[in-house]
A and B are shown apart, each in its own frame.
Chain A
Amino acid sequence: MLKYIAKRIGLAIITIWVVATITFFLMNMVPGGPFLSEKAISPQAQAALEAKYGLDKPLFEQYITYLTDAVHGDFGDSLKQRGRTVMSIIKTKFPVSARVGGISVLVALCLGIPLGCIAAIRRGKFIDSFISVVATCGIAVPSFVICTVLMYFFGVKLKLLPTLGLTSWKHYIMPVIALAFYPTAYIMRLTRSSMLDVLGQDYMRTARAKGLSQVVSIFKHALRNAILPVITYVGPMLAYTLSGSFVVEKIFTIPGLGGEFIGSITSRDYTVIMGTTIFLATLIVVMNVIVDIVYKIVDPRIKLK
């Protein structure tokens, strides 16, 4: 187990390093550099700026400096938002995204798993068909479609919910629905199929033969096995929530990190792009490691590997 964790963490560190490296060199591939779009900068001013940000040094040296700083949590200063470090931007924006994303993940799990189970247990009945249809349609709708449709009906037409910002609980409703929609549908499908699989297993027959009631055999014997694939999906789900947050935060103008990332791309704020990429990648990779370790704990079979 310890060996596994060590291996998993090692892989995670390599992954983060790869991401950081790719990010760094990609950003330096962009011709003209970060200050090209600035209006009429004199060569002297340009040189001064480059010296200030260390851009006059050889690329490899810049790379080493950047990595060492990044390890210490220093991603440099924002190029466009003067006087703010990238880290301070992340610190103010990330909690907002984390809250919306966290609620969405919880909603998706709390809705998806029970509904998927119900569909599997009531296989072939109306409720199963209904849940399956909803889930199949659910995974076909991109988040931006849900966002805009929600905004049009509940925000613009019915004026039930606020469309901008994130100041009251009501503001959370639409972004959370938009973000949780796809994962919920996906988890429903996943749970349904894995539950069906588990219900057909020999140990479920054993449970019945022992005289256990349906409720006990499902809650004790089936659920824990059926939930294993869902755990493996939590990692991809976090990644999805993240990409969804780009769209959702842009549409609902939520001051989160996803919106910031897209914004920094539009405004070519290189240090922010690099910083947020590495930060978000680290976040996802770390979450994946945690999920993997949790998986090992829930499923005793894998311990030996």
Chain B
Amino acid sequence: MAEGQNVRKLVDIKNERLSFFTPAGEVKALNDVSIMLDEGEVLGIVGESGSGKSVTAYSLMGLTAHPGKLLDGTLWFNGHQIETMTEKEMRKIRGNEVSIIFQDPMTSLNPVYTIGNQIEEVILLHTDKKRKEAHERAKELLELVGINEPEKRLKQYPHELSGGMRQRVMIAIALACEPKLLIADEPTTALDVTIQAQILELMMKLKEKLGMAIIMITHDLGVVASMCEKIAVMYAGKIVEYGTAEDIFYHPKHQYTKGLIRSIPRLDTKEHERLVPIEGTPVDMLNPPKGCPFAPRCEECMKICLREMPPVTNFGDAHYTQCWLNQKEEMEGGTANE
């Protein structure tokens, strides 16, 4: 790490395993997931729906939904050991040290309360501010997220605002107590393309201003490319490749990552050149294959991939994959990648 000691580790998830015990059987949503994040850093988690990106982030907030259960692993956040904390202790952190914005701003705000009420609520909960001060702070926050006429907006109900506006309100709520970490769970998926860019820009601006770390969950590689320093690519509950944005985009190692990057439309492609999709469908998480979950869709699939879970192959400090092919190349080529 270049900056040395003055950068503090904010998030350290080690070997997290989490399953949902549904009536149909156990769904291994997270299988040996490890994530690290420094203060002020932006991490992107990319993957298809159901790959476990959101589950990872929610578990960090202790928000795992009902049939889900943390089976193994340690989760450190800002000096707290999350998995050992009680619900009551967690409540002090949520909305305060770590906040989240959700995918759909249409449904994430309570329809029967005013915007003001919902912003002030979290301020009153986590600070000693009086009602009036909270109101002032709410106004400040709305200005911060670029909403004009804050006084008027505070009195409005969610249905009176547009989608982009509501997402700004969600960001205001998330930032109300100046959190150390902001989790953005597909914050722009439900928005118009033009609004998407505005919201992302706003988030980056606020990050610079407030110095918080961000975990950006998305299936949009374009979003992570423009924002994130580190990227984790998830597939079927595993992090299949982890590295810096440069590693992932210019030196992808895992077949899935390569496939993802091939499937992005580019400006510099030649005419008539087709985008390359990843063939096949994601695995059935109720009946995951024994070996590498990506094996059935992998073009380079080997016999061992079908049998055994691939080990970690490191390519330097913060770039690793879980793939037999990488392992094989490394065993053959020795320290070629070192």
**Are chains A and B touching directly in their complex (CB below 8 angstroms)?**
yes
Name the residue on B nearest A210 (C-beta): B95
When the two chains form their complex, are residues B102 and A206 in contact, meaning their CB atoms are under 8 A apart?
yes
Q: Nearest Cβ in chain A — how far from B87, in angstroms?
A: 8
Assess A211 versus B112: contact at CB under 8 Å? Given A201-B107, A206-B173. Answer: no
Interface residues of B in 216-240 (CB under 8 A from A): none
What's the least CB distance linking B301 to chain A, in Å? 38
B110-A221 in contact (CB<8A)? yes
Q: At the interface, yes or no: A41 with Cβ under 8 Å from chain B? A: no
- Residue from the list B61, B104, B110 in contact with A209, Cβ < 8 A: B61
**Contacts A202-B107, A203-B107, A301-B157 given; does A209 touch B63 at CB 8 Å:** yes
Within 8 A of B (CB), among A27-48: none
Smallest CB gap from A225: residue in B: B112
Residues of A within 8 A of B111 (CB): 203, 225, 299-301
- B94 contacts chain A at the CB level, 8 A cutoff: yes
Q: Is the beta-carbon distance between A211 and B96 smaller than 8 angstroms?
A: yes
List the A side residues contacting B125 at CB < 8 Å. Answer: 210-212
Enumerate B63-111 residues with CB–CB distance to A below 8 Å: 63, 88, 90-96, 99-100, 102, 104, 107-111
Contacts of A205 in B (CB 8 A): 63, 102, 108
A201, A211, A220, most chain B CB atoms within 10 A: A211
A80→B265 CA distance, assembly (Å) = 88
Q: Which residues of chain A are near B93, meaning CB under 8 Å?
A: 211
**A210 with B63, Cβ < 8 A, contacts A203-B110, A225-B110, A299-B112 known:** no
CB proximity of B104 to chain A, nearest CB, Å: 6
The answer to whether A213 touches B159, judged by C-beta atoms less than 8 angstroms apart, is no
Q: Is A224 an interface residue (CB 8 A)?
A: yes
Per-residue contact bits, chain A 193-236, to B (CB 8 Å; 1 contact, 0 not): 00000000111011111111100000011001100000000000
B112 A202 Cβ-Cβ under 8 A: no
**Most chain B CB neighbours (cut-off 10 Å) among A201, A206, A208:** A206
Q: Tell me the minimal C-beta distance from B324 to chain A in angstroms.
A: 38
Q: Which residue of B lies closest to A299 (CB)?
A: B112
- Residue B323, interface by CB 8 Å: no
Q: Say yes or no: is A133 at the interface (Cβ < 8 Å to chain B).
A: no
Give the distance to chain A from B22, nearest Cβ to Cβ, in Å: 13
Query: How far, in Å, is B85 (CB) from chain A's closest CB?
Result: 12
> Does A202 contact B121, Cβ atoms closer than 8 Å?
no
User: In the bound complex, do residue B112 and residue A209 qualify as a contact, i.e. CB atoms below 8 Å apart?
Assistant: no
Q: Is A294 an interface residue (CB 8 A)?
A: no
Query: Given the known A-B contacts A206-B173, A224-B112, A225-B111, are A213 and B102 also in contact in the complex, defined by CB atoms under 8 Å?
Result: no
Instruction: Report the Cα distance A143→B122, complex, angstroms.
Output: 48
- Which chain B residues lie closer than 8 Å to A220 at the CB level? 113, 121
Shortest CB–CB separation between residue B78 and chain A, in angstroms?
14
Q: B110 to chain A: which residues have CB within 8 Å? A: 203, 206-207, 221, 225
Q: Which residues of A contact B9 (CB under 8 A)?
A: none
Considering residues B93, B99, B111, which has the most beta carbons from chain A within 10 angstroms of its beta carbon?
B111
Task: Note all chain B residues with C-beta closer than 8 A to A149.
Answer: none
Contacts of A221 in B (CB 8 A): 110, 113
CB within 8 Å of B: which A249-269 residues: none
Complex: how many Å from CA A99 to CA B61? 52
* Residues of A close to B113: CB separation below 8 A: 220-221, 224
CB–CB A212/B157 < 8 A: no
Tell me whether B297 is interfacial, beta carbon within 8 Å.
no
Question: Given known contacts A208-B63, A211-B91, A211-B92, is B159 in contact with A203 (CB within 8 Å)?
Answer: no
Are A211 and B126 within 8 A (Cβ)? yes
Q: Determine if A213 and B91 form an interchain contact, defined as CB atoms under 8 angstroms apart.
A: yes
Q: Kindly state the separation between the CA atoms of A206 and B110 in the bound complex, as whole angstroms.
A: 9
Q: Which residues of B contact A202 (CB under 8 A)?
A: 102, 104, 107-108
Smallest CB separation, B266 vs chain A (Å): 34
Residue of B61, B121, B170 most packed against chain A (CB within 10 A) = B121
Find the A residue at minimum CB distance from B65: A205
Chain B residue nearest in CB terms to A123? B66
Q: Separation in Å of the A225 CB from the closest CB of chain B?
A: 6
Minimum CB–CB distance from B114 to chain A (whole Å) comes to 8
CB proximity of A305 to chain B, nearest CB, Å: 11
Smallest CB-CB A-B distances: 8 pairs? A211-B94, A210-B95, A211-B95, A202-B107, A203-B110, A300-B157, A202-B108, A211-B91
